[in-house]
Amino acid sequence: MKTVEWNFTTHKLQMIDQRLLPGTFEVAVFDDYRAVGQAITDMVVRGAPAIGAAAGFALGLAANQSAATTPEGLLTDLKSAADLLKKARPTAVNLAWALDRILNTLTPSPSLKRRGEAPPLPGGEGWGEGSLQSLRAAVLTEAQRIADEDVEINQRMAHHGAELIADGDTVIHHCNTGALATVDWGTALGVIRMAHKQGKNIHVLVDETRPRLQGSRLTAWELEQYGISYDIISDNAAGYFLSNGQVDKVFVGSDRTAANGDVANKIGTYMLALAAYDNGVPFYPVVPTSTIDLSLATGAEIPIEERDQAEVLSLTFQGQAAFPEGASARNPAFDITPHRLVTGIVTENGVAYPPYLENLRKVVNVKTS
């Protein structure tokens, strides 16, 4: 199944519970948008594209849950639900992007409001009879469109990125950016998957990605499914392999990329990028254009989520706590890799190279049929 999927029979949202992998494969089912918001916070679902799709379907649940009797009332309820969902994880731009995209399809333009006309809705209905049903259907239609587009975008990125991988390459990958981080296929791991599908002999060094171990739990599990050769390494071993000439490329994802090419990604990415840069190894974030935030000039403007210290302090060693009693911890979930360390940014519209201020805008504004 897909990581995030709407069940049109039950009218509920289904998501793979990523907290339980690799030991248990379980599908969580949701019929309440608030529960989806909590699931995003708790990382039942994670990865920027998957979060965006989940939020879109959560708005569909909110539309179904609303007791509003007028279109205006339903729109008010949807905006309230969107505000709650946006707080679930602040760094991943896809969450707010998906919600705003859906709301924008429902809200009358200022000119229509002035004239008292209805916005266009699927089926051609306006604010009159049947419009509540049309609005609810429109929410789900746009959410499904976002999910379907994500799969197609991932595969386009994979083709562009696979051109950067040569037969016999060893690559380092941080966090998880595969099918589990998207609706299906994957971003950075999707590139690796595509190169493997093309017949290239690839080996992947998988950063554990502490403290939640998305690399060793999720990426390694996916690579097992695809039959791709890999070794798990501790995060702080990456510099060793890079400095000894044992790595050809680095591929990572991004939860938000600023207009100048600064990249927010899972904590530890910045150190990996520094080591790659120091050793002349190309460093490529793989980023759908929906994750590029041209409204932010630099990465300094990207909000960084700090999660519960318990995620750090849950580590055990030989069955005992690996920290003194009473210890405290800091747990930023992301860091910012400055654009000067980035070789190129792979998108569905091609690979953007410096100067990013100019070339990211070009790939974002590409018109596709």
| Residue pair 82/59 in contact by the 8 Å Cβ criterion | yes
| Catalytic-labelled residue, pool 150, 184, 207, 255 | 255
| Residue pair 163/152 in contact by the 8 Å Cβ criterion | no
DSSP 306: B
198 half-sphere exposure, CB direction, 13 A CA radius = 20
| Tokens standing for residue 43 | 């990382």
The two beta strands, 283-285 and 249-252, are parallel
Rounded to whole angstroms, how far apart are CA atoms 10 and 7? 6
Amino acid at 16: I
- Active-site residue, 235 included: no
| Residue pair 139/103 in contact by the 8 Å Cβ criterion | no
Helices (H), 163-267: 188-197, 214, 220-226, 238-243
Active site residues: 255
